Amino acid sequence: MRILQLSFLVLFLTACGGGSHDSSTVTDNTSNSSDSSDTNNSNDQNSDNSQDSTDTHTNTANENNSNDDYAASITVTPKIAAKLLTQATFGPSETAIDHLVSQNNLSAWVDQQISLPVSLSQPYVEANSNGSLKSTRHHIWWKNILEGNDQLRQRVAFALSQIFVISDRDYELSNSQYAVTNYYDMLAKNAFGNYRELLEKVTLHPTMGIYLGMVRNQKANPGLRIRPDENYAREVLQLFSIGLYELNNRGEALPAGNPIPTYTQKTIEDFAKVFTGWNFADSAGIWVSNGLTTYDKRIPMVADDDTPTGESFHDTSAKTLLNGFQLASSANSATATEDDLKAALDNIFNHPNVGPFFGKLLIQQLTTSNPSPEYIERVAITFNDNGQGIRGDLGAVIKAILLDKEAINGKAENPNFGKVKEPLLQLSQLWRAFDVQPGAGVTDGVYRLYDKADEGLDEVFGQAILKAPSIFNFYSPDNLLSSNSGLFAPEMQIMTEANIASIHNALRTQIYAFNNQNNDGWDIASRINIDKPIQLASNSSALVNYLDKLLLAGELSNAKKTIITNHLNTINDNTERAQEAIFLIIASAQFMVQE
């Protein structure tokens, strides 16, 4: 019985994720800015060419990963190419599939992707938004993920944005669009760096300081009967790094049914003490509520001892952290606030859970919702040591995830392999497969789904970049495929009846009305190019095979091919045939799943 599978579900709420060090040397143009709030302008370059440290990562990954040997032995077929491109990019194009087939080296492709410079969002947003206008960061995000060469980096940044969650649904972030954009770019720059550095950048980013309340967090004041805010302390442990229960490298919380908690309430209270004494970088001495004040929220938070009482707000008392680690009193140190934070982040980083916990979250984001314990273990081992004695090398971890035999061979390795395609990726895949172009009537180069390009899209898809309903993201890693299923299907949480219907209608309109053969109607709507499908349409079977390769990684069964082909053969017009074929595939269950 399926329900019995519940009994071996490992019951840990994996959440969390990963990160990496800022290996990318991309200069953070804004970090020197002293302008107030989100009103600064930085350069216009949309892509940064410096890439030294990413090269370093490529090398470490190469030398370490035993997957390389396996991946090198693989002959890259169109099917294998399309699968990897579905997992690692915002959707395959025919050109990309053909290129990967002729390159015939999955590992080299990943290395190349890791080495590409990052496509930034911030310059565009600063040039086009006043800091409150929310649409621009969505515009540039779509442009980058549709056009950018750094597909893997953007895909991983998207994954990280759903692990280290901030959201501008929060009222204090909604007017901080430069800062929210800066946060996304930070994730993209650090996508292949080291987890420890990423964790520190996440911790000290002012948007996170606001979102989880660490900014201006003060030590206990018995007179006022106040004590430190526990919010960041709790979520950094539960969601960003180690999770609720002790795990082995296979991601199993043992003993099953009575797992061992990773921390207690007392641990949270001590971490809360660690995270005291930090302020916005350009507002030293101001410790009022951060409510509506305007500070430059792109600059990392700083330790600020300039307090109204003349006494540091950092709690310097001794603290007991994870696994009994004793952090001695820092009362005599001039750099207590920074030192305690670094020691605490080291303590988290070195917890054995991070590899399996964070590794599984990344696996779930990229390749499969229910990885085998062996797959998790292989990824965790790479996290623990990239082969050169370095822990937390995210470039190596990503490579280990994508080139694992389970990722490449799917169901042949694990019968439960696969995942539901998240809604935004359904649109991006359709658009990228058919070389979408902004509507002829637009002057801003913005991609629009009929008239929607930003705020409106999440009403259709239930999802938009950095716009989750809470720190728990759009969906939970342990959301069940169905009530009685033993399988996880995180993305299914937002494939609700309402969203399925709205996505169905939106994509249908895109295919039938907004293609390059149909010039009626909205000239601001982006158009897909269906020349190639029309060209093939006189042969229904050739058309279906082409779409199968492009949209379904060659997974369409013969029975389904026959159903579609028979339908197409009843249509005389080639354009109509092409549209109908694309729609039938896009609206099918098969397209909404990647296996």
Partner 1 sequence: MTKRKYINNASRRSFLKNIGVFPFLKYTPLLSGTILGSALSSSASADCNQQQSLVCVFLLGGADSYNFVVPGGSAYNEYATTRGNMAVSRENLLSSNDAVQGAFGFNKRLPGLHDLYQNERLAVVSNVGNLIRPTTKSDFNASKSLPQSLFAHDAQQKLWQTGSGNLADSFGWGGSIAQRITECNSSSTIATSISTAGSNKWLNNLQQNYISLNPNADIVQMRGLSPSSSTKNTLEALLNESKAEQGSFFKQQVAHAITRADNTANGLSDAIRDNPVADFSPTGRLEQQLHLVARMISAREQLNMGKQIFFVGLGGWDTHSNQNERLVPLMTELNSALTSFQASIDRMGKADNVTTFTASDFGRTLTSNGDGTDHGWGGHSLVMGGAVKGGQIYGGFPSFAASNNPDDAGDDDNFAGRIIPTTAVAQLGATLADWMGITRAEQEVMLPNLANFNQKNLGFMK
Write out the binding residues for partner 1, residues 12-41 only, by CB under 8 A: 13, 15
The dihedrals phi and psi of 525, each to the nearest 5 degrees, come to -75, 140
Q: CB-wise, 144 or 369, nearer to partner 1?
A: 369
| 593 in contact with partner 1 (CB under 8 A) | yes
Which listed residue (475, 510, 547, 550) binds partner 1 by CB under 8 A? 475
| 406 in contact with partner 1 (CB under 8 A) | no
| 69 in contact with partner 1 (CB under 8 A) | no
Q: How many of the chain's residues bind partner 1 (CB under 8 A)?
A: 99
Which listed residue (289, 326, 443, 519) binds partner 1 by CB under 8 A? 289
| 416 in contact with partner 1 (CB under 8 A) | yes
**Stretch in the footprint of partner 1 (CB under 8 A) among 154-162, 318-326, 354-362, 491-499:** 491-499
| 50 in contact with partner 1 (CB under 8 A) | no
| 1 in contact with partner 1 (CB under 8 A) | yes
Which listed residue (286, 302, 390, 587) binds partner 1 by CB under 8 A? 587
Which listed residue (409, 476, 517, 574) binds partner 1 by CB under 8 A? 476
CB of 486 to partner 1, least distance (A): 9
**Stretch in the footprint of partner 1 (CB under 8 A) among 27-35, 152-160, 224-232, 353-361:** 224-232
**Stretch in the footprint of partner 1 (CB under 8 A) among 28-36, 42-50, 529-537, 578-586:** 578-586
For partner 1, what does the binding mask look like between residues 528 and 547, x meaning CB under 8 A? --------------------
| 484 in contact with partner 1 (CB under 8 A) | yes
For partner 1, what does the binding mask look like between residues 350 and 389, x meaning CB under 8 A? -------------------x--------------------
The C-alpha atoms of residue 394 and residue 405 are separated, in whole angstroms, by 19
Which listed residue (204, 481, 525, 534) binds partner 1 by CB under 8 A? 481
| 459 in contact with partner 1 (CB under 8 A) | yes
Which listed residue (32, 43, 265, 323) binds partner 1 by CB under 8 A? 265
Helix axes 423-433, 497-512, angle to 10 degrees: 10
The residues, ordered by sequence, that sit 6+ positions from 141 with a Cβ below 8 Å of its Cβ are 121, 184, 465
Q: CB-wise, 96 or 471, nearer to partner 1?
A: 471
**Stretch in the footprint of partner 1 (CB under 8 A) among 28-36, 151-159, 358-366, 493-501:** 493-501
Q: Which positions from 102 through 121 interact with partner 1, judged by CB under 8 A? A: none
Contact 479, 558 (CB under 8 A): no
**Stretch in the footprint of partner 1 (CB under 8 A) among 190-198, 423-431, 497-505, 516-524:** 497-505
The C-alpha atoms of residue 208 and residue 274 are separated, in whole angstroms, by 16
Number of other residues whose CB lies within 10 A of the CB of residue 439: 19
| 567 in contact with partner 1 (CB under 8 A) | yes
CB of 40 to partner 1, least distance (A): 25
| 125 in contact with partner 1 (CB under 8 A) | no
The C-alpha atoms of residue 511 and residue 516 are separated, in whole angstroms, by 10
547 sits in the region (left: phi over 0; alpha: psi -120 to 50; else beta) called alpha
Instruction: Give the DSSP H or E segment for 302.
Output: strand 302-303
| 588 in contact with partner 1 (CB under 8 A) | yes
Q: CB-wise, 30 or 368, nearer to partner 1?
A: 368
Provide the token pair at 566: 């028979």
| 79 in contact with partner 1 (CB under 8 A) | no
| 95 in contact with partner 1 (CB under 8 A) | no
**Stretch in the footprint of partner 1 (CB under 8 A) among 115-123, 254-262, 302-310, 531-539:** 254-262
* 3-class secondary-structure state, position 419: strand
Provide the token pair at 171: 């009222």
CB of 193 to partner 1, least distance (A): 28
The residues, ordered by sequence, that sit 6+ positions from 348 with a Cβ below 8 Å of its Cβ are 199, 236, 237, 241, 242, 322, 354
Which listed residue (133, 318, 331, 501) binds partner 1 by CB under 8 A? 501
**Stretch in the footprint of partner 1 (CB under 8 A) among 47-55, 194-202, 378-386, 416-424:** 416-424
The residues, ordered by sequence, that sit 6+ positions from 505 with a Cβ below 8 Å of its Cβ are none
Measured CA to CA in angstroms, residue 321 lies from 325, 340, 563 at distances of 5, 11, 61
SS (H, E, C) 50-93: CCHHHHHHHHHHHHHCCHHHHHHCCCCCHHHHHHHHHHHCCCCC
| 493 in contact with partner 1 (CB under 8 A) | yes
The residues, ordered by sequence, that sit 6+ positions from 495 with a Cβ below 8 Å of its Cβ are 420, 423, 462, 592
Contact 280, 215 (CB under 8 A): yes
Q: CB-wise, 116 or 239, nearer to partner 1?
A: 239
| 8 in contact with partner 1 (CB under 8 A) | yes
Q: Which positions from 504 through 533 interact with partner 1, judged by CB under 8 A? A: 504-505, 508
492 sits in the region (left: phi over 0; alpha: psi -120 to 50; else beta) called alpha
**Stretch in the footprint of partner 1 (CB under 8 A) among 41-49, 124-132, 375-383, 562-570:** 562-570
Q: CB-wise, 161 or 167, nearer to partner 1?
A: 167
Q: Which positions from 417 through 436 interact with partner 1, judged by CB under 8 A? A: 418-420
Contact 508, 583 (CB under 8 A): yes
| 2 in contact with partner 1 (CB under 8 A) | yes
544 closest CA partner among 589, 580, 506: 580
Peptide bond into 255 cis (omega under 30): yes
465 closest CA partner among 151, 119, 158: 158
| 224 in contact with partner 1 (CB under 8 A) | yes
| 168 in contact with partner 1 (CB under 8 A) | no
126 closest CA partner among 49, 42, 1, 213: 42
190 closest CA partner among 204, 176, 177: 204
First to last CA, the chain: 23
